[in-house]
Chains A and B, each alone.
Chain A
């Protein structure tokens, strides 16, 4: 069994966890407390259940998940809700003080005191696996806990498990909607750690998610809707590990196919057909439409500069009632329409899993590595520079052990990263 351990850090990471595990429970026919639903005898749904769940004695399944937050709010809501019995309490770590939106507090001050506990819990969870495939981390990179503590966890994970795959699902600050003034600092400092320590990072932009949700749901979306989109993407990325299919894809295969140059492992994703929760499956759309929507530019979850960039690589994973032949025919046409780098002559990596997400007849997921992602970095760097050059807010970081030199170094690393993407066009 090739297990995957999910680590959810900070407010945003845990809100995603809430939606994500709900979705997995439904896909695998489990109740909110982790027991098999009555009449669930579907062998197909449960053949690979142990990738994400750990079975305990009384037939109950416990998620292989670790919830970490520096403030108790979100985790308390999960525990107070219908999934109260689901998670293992020894895998929930919450501390009171909070990171105060400050990367340095999450990384140095609070992180220092809690990281060992987190690593011990991770070690214990890893020991329960037979052959761990890797880690998934969900966090936001603009706040304090998800960014600072998330960075520290990434560093320590890489040291402790150098050969395991680390995937992050990182929510990036939006160009227009901003939660806090210091987001660019937090984001740049975190991106540097993701660059150094993760194998692949799927960047998710709240504004892009908001736009997608609004246009597809035909109403004003809330954070639950945005997190639901993220959960659908995460569930599809891992679908072929969990369900049987003709073209299986695992984390290592994704990395091999999606990362043409070391360090250029920042991806963006798209999920189709996008429907509001509850409306799924009302319209049974045909496969060519699903494939087209999957690769439609306005369906991707980060603000990518599509005009000044090329595709470095792409993966597509289709789920549900789709035929391999149909996939190949349609993808050949789509492949021609995508603007690939001249030195990437081969096709799109394809995967097919038999089971669609709950409520869907079929679905598509695209994970792409596009050089236009440099725009995301450049935007953050511009905002970073405006504040940094005027010494605005930097004292909060210096007081917590992050010098201006460290910040400047992180900034330069991300400038080089953006440039390497531009050069690859």
Chain B
């Protein structure tokens, strides 16, 4: 058992209790309680105790709904955290339901243009892909792509990630030509990112995906070249990752 994690959980538990006491007397403190609850829930999830994490997030959700002036940003956040939990738990239907609830709330409150919402759409698309609903998945990826293009511009790592995800989607629905187009776009962006945004792990992943696409198209030489490039990049990283705590659900595609 990870004792550092245990200590973090014990301390987060105490903070939640204290926040509960304060919120018991003063309903205005519920917002602070919800924040503490989501910290503890995140740790519970790391520990692998999904039941407790779910229970905590759901408490946070209902407490946030009790507030006289509801905070749509907070509610969207909790819904998407719950959805992410269900995703990790393997309960895809629930995950899709909660991501859609998060999207509804942000749409009702005019928050569609935020990168948070685009991330939710990207994650939701991944779930629909796993549920084999390719049309819905494509729709949400495209919406996420448009938002990221508007916010970050075409030459950005997040846009490249969505291109990559779209490529994987097309590949798994046997549409090799479009998959190739998407991965090539992702590659051209990722190769030209500045040092701050450049991520060798993503780049090597793109080469691997592209290799798979070339192989499916019968172009074995190109495929081998791509896989070689990917291997060289991986070797150069030497096990080191520049930014391990990034928003994993956006960038890592579990179906690979």
Interface residues of A (CB under 8 A from B): 88-90, 92, 113-114, 116-117, 119-121, 123-124, 127, 159-160
Contacts and interface: CB of A to CB of B under 8 A. Distances in A.
Interface in B169-222: none
Given A120-B55, A124-B17, A90 B62 contact: no
B16 A114 contact: no
Contact residues on B (Cβ < 8 Å of other chain), bracket: 10 to 19
Contacts of A124: 13, 16-17
Contacts of A159: 51
A-B interface, 7 closest residue pairs, ranked by CB to CB distance from nearest: A90-B20, A116-B58, A116-B59, A117-B59, A90-B17, A116-B55, A89-B21
A154 to B, nearest CB: 16
Contacts, number: 39
A124 B40 CA distance: 11
Given A88-B17, A120-B37, 9 more contacts: A89-B21, A89-B24, A90-B17, A90-B18, A90-B21, A121-B20, A124-B17, A159-B51, A160-B51
B52 interface: yes
A111 to B, nearest CB: 11
Contacts of B13: 124, 127
Nearest to A114: B62
26 contacts: A88-B17, A88-B21, A89-B20, A89-B21, A89-B24, A89-B25, A90-B17, A90-B21, A90-B24, A92-B24, A113-B62, A114-B62, A116-B54, A116-B55, A116-B56, A116-B58, A116-B59, A116-B62, A117-B59, A117-B63, A120-B16, A120-B59, A123-B55, A124-B16, A124-B17, A127-B13
Contacts of A127: 13
A119 B55 contact: yes
Nearest to A95: B66
B75 to A, nearest CB: 14
Nearest to B10: A127
Interface in B146-187: none
A60 to B, nearest CB: 15
Nearest to B24: A89
Nearest to A122: B55
A interface: dominant SS: helix
A159 B50 CA distance: 13
A116 to B, nearest CB: 4
B36 to A, nearest CB: 11
B52 A123 contact: yes
Interface string B48-83: 000110111011001100000000000000000000
Contacts of A160: 51
B246 to A, nearest CB: 29
A120 B37 CA distance: 10
Contacts of B16: 120, 124
The interface centre, meaning the residue of A88, A124, A160 with most chain B CB atoms within 10 A of its CB, is A124
Contacts of B56: 116, 120
A89 B19 CA distance: 10
Contacts of B63: 117
Nearest to B40: A120
Interface in B1-49: 13, 16-18, 20-21, 24-25, 37
